[in-house]
């Protein structure tokens, strides 16, 4: 009720067009290929500007209560359940900053994450390359899925054969872990696209291209507003030559990715499976994320009817998350409370 009222308001004032999230949803028993397409949302952040933003946020909170204020309630559900913690990186574990290379995680956040990972299986599912996010987080007790879930370092237990029709070209054991990379065959073309994007954006001041291994980010946070539409045109132009790829929008970024039906939601399911928890009725997954691509994982939890999808946002946003946290500092508090709860209940 409240949500639909808000949506009407947003539509009426022409802001906040929430796209269907980046890839198709549900648990893919196969990795399927999608027709290449550019998504249509404008390359801008989901900003909500209202005369009385705080009041609107309060209203939104009644639909997506703070995970901190609801902590006791959440933990009542958790009793006797196996908690698994999934987290996004940028905007969740680290604050959004102008330079993507400087999105460091605080020592306090690292310590909290280490605590949580000592209590529950913990995974980070990021749009960044797996190596880069590991470089920021620097914890070996956490599982990492990079490139929006297209590059997973899973626990040292192979998924049950037969669950996935698609087998990656290479599933290697490394440091006792399994690497799952459903988009491996796209790598040579990704290199070409990266070079083309670098060349095509060279003259666009403030625009940078980030190689995320199985996807590429074209950042325009540091570009003047008048350049934003040129960025979109450039990305579109480059993609015309690459029919097996498409682009989605994030926070001041275009993300170019292979058109396969594999997203953060699939990565979440895959990791649950490797933990032997996919079929378990007493698993309780949490997923905390701030961006559109996290909605795919929220939807998986919603469909499973298990666990808590938590959106990190200071603004009202349409989301499949059940709960919310305002910013990474609230994520930190939440992680600390969770670890403390575990220790007290053990």
The residues of the shown chain that bind ligand L263DTV3, judged by CB under 6 A, are: 88-91, 96-98, 100, 103, 126-128, 210, 212, 217, 219, 221, 250-253, 255, 291, 293
Phi-psi region of 54 (alpha: psi -120 to 50; beta: other; left: phi over 0): alpha
Closer residue to ligand L263DTV3, CB minimum distance, 96 or 204 = 96
By beta-carbon proximity to ligand L263DTV3, the closer residue of 217 and 259 is: 217
Rounded to the nearest whole angstrom, what is the least distance from the CB of residue 289 to ligand L263DTV3 in the complex? 7
Place of tokens 């808590």: 308
Q: Are 275 and 84 in contact (CB under 8 A)?
A: yes
- Which of 287, 334 has the CB closer to ligand L263DTV3? 287
Q: Smallest gap, in angstroms, from Cβ of residue 127 to ligand L263DTV3?
A: 3
Shortest reach from residue 88's CB to ligand L263DTV3, in Å: 5
Nearer to ligand L263DTV3, 28 or 103 (CB): 103
Q: Which of 325, 299, 298 lies closest to 313, judged by CA?
A: 325
- Distance CA(186)–CA(317), nearest Å, equals 33
Cβ proximity to ligand L263DTV3, 6 vs 245, nearer residue: 245
Beta strand 208-211 pairing with 143-146: unpaired
Say how far apart CA 165 and CA 27 lie, in whole Å: 12
Q: Where are the beta strands (DSSP E) in the chain?
A: 82-87, 122-125, 143-146, 151-154, 173-174, 177-180, 208-211, 216-219, 245-249, 253-258, 283-289, 308-312, 323-325
Residue number, nearest CB to ligand L263DTV3: 127
As measured in angstroms, the least distance from the Cβ of 97 to ligand L263DTV3 is: 4
For residue 125, the minimal CB distance to ligand L263DTV3 (Å) is 7
């Amino acid at each position: 009720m409240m949500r639909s009222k808000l949506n009407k308001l947003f539509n009426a004032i022409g802001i906040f067009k929430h796209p269907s999230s980046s890839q198709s949803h549900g648990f893919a028993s196969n990795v399927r290929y999608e027709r290449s397409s550019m998504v249509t949302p404008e390359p801008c952040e989901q900003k909500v500007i209202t005369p009385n933003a705080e009041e609107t946020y309060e209203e939104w909170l009644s639909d997506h209560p703070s995970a901190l204020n609801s902590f006791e309630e959440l933990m009542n559900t958790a009793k006797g359940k196996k908690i698994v913690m999934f987290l996004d990186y940028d905007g969740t574990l680290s604050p959004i900053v102008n330079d993507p290379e400087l999105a460091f995680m605080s020592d306090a956040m690292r310590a909290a994450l280490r605590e949580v990972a000592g209590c529950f299986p913990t995974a980070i599912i990021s749009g960044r390359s797996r190596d880069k996010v590991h470089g920021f987080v620097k914890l070996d007790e956490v599982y990492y899925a990079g490139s929006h879930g297209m590059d997973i370092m899973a626990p040292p237990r192979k998924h049950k054969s037969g669950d996935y029709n698609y087998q990656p070209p290479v599933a290697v054991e490394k440091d006792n872990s399994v690497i799952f990379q459903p988009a491996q065959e796209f790598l040579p073309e990704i290199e070409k696209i990266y070079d083309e994007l670098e060349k095509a954006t060279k003259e666009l001041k403030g625009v940078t291209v980030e190689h995320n291994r199985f996807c590429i980010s074209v950042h325009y946070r540091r570009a003047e507003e008048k350049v934003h539409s040129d960025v979109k045109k450039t990305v579109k132009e480059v993609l015309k030559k690459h029919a097996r790829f498409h682009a989605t929008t994030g926070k001041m970024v275009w993300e170019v990715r292979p058109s396969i039906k594999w997203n953060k939601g699939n990565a979440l399911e895959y990791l649950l499976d490797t933990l032997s928890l996919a079929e378990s009725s007493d698993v309780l997954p949490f997923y905390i994320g701030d961006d559109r691509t996290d909605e795919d994982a929220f939807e998986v939890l919603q469909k499973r009817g298990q666990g808590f999808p938590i959106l990190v946002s200071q603004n009202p946003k349409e989301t499949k998350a059940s709960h919310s946290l305002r910013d990474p500092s609230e994520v930190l508090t939440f992680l600390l409370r969770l670890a403390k709860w575990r220790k007290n209940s053990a």
